[in-house]
């Protein structure tokens, strides 16, 4: 099992450019999440998908959109990148129901200049 995978690992964008971060899991998990991690701020939830076909806003959704493409894949889109979106982005998944352990992907380091 690959677990949770993310692409790309690193990305540099100019202000105003758009991009999509990809996430996939092969553990048949129901719930998937996108977080951003900034120094001293912990992990802040951007969007989550409790199950296939549903998405909901988290704590810091402004400037982002998501798509739960199928049970395996959950993508995060930045339509018009801003320097404030410079961060490390983690995707995570959880089985839910009987287990709430979150499995994280390796992260994407995004810099917006």
**Residues contributing to the site for another protein (CB under 8 A):** 31, 40-45, 48, 50-51, 58-59, 90, 94, 96-97, 100-102, 104-107
Q: CB of 72: closest distance to another protein in angstroms?
A: 18
Residue 110 CB, nearest distance to another protein (Å)? 15
- Angle, CA of 73, 79 and 83, to the nearest 5°: 110
3 state SS of 6: strand
Phi and psi torsions of 85, nearest 5°? -95, 5
Based on CB atoms, which residue is closest to another protein, 85 or 94?
A: 94
- Closest CB to another protein among residues 12, 41: 41
Strand partners, 31: 94
Least gap, CB of 104 to another protein (angstroms): 4
Q: Please, which residue, 47 or 78, has the CB nearer to another protein?
A: 47
DSSP class of residue 25?
A: E
Find the angle CA(52)-CA(54)-CA(58) to the nearest 5 degrees.
120
């Amino acid at each position: 099992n690959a677990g949770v995978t993310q692409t790309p690992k690193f990305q540099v964008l100019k202000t105003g450019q758009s991009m999509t971060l990809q996430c996939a899991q092969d553990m048949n998990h129901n719930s998937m999440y996108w977080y951003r991690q900034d120094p001293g701020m912990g992990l802040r939830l951007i969007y989550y998908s409790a199950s296939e076909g549903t998405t909901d806003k988290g704590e810091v959704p402004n400037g982002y959109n998501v798509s739960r493409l199928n049970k395996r894949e959950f993508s995060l889109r930045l339509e018009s990148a801003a320097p404030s979106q410079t961060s490390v982005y983690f995707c995570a998944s959880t089985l839910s129901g009987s287990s709430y352990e979150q499995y994280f992907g390796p992260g994407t380091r995004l810099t917006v200049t």
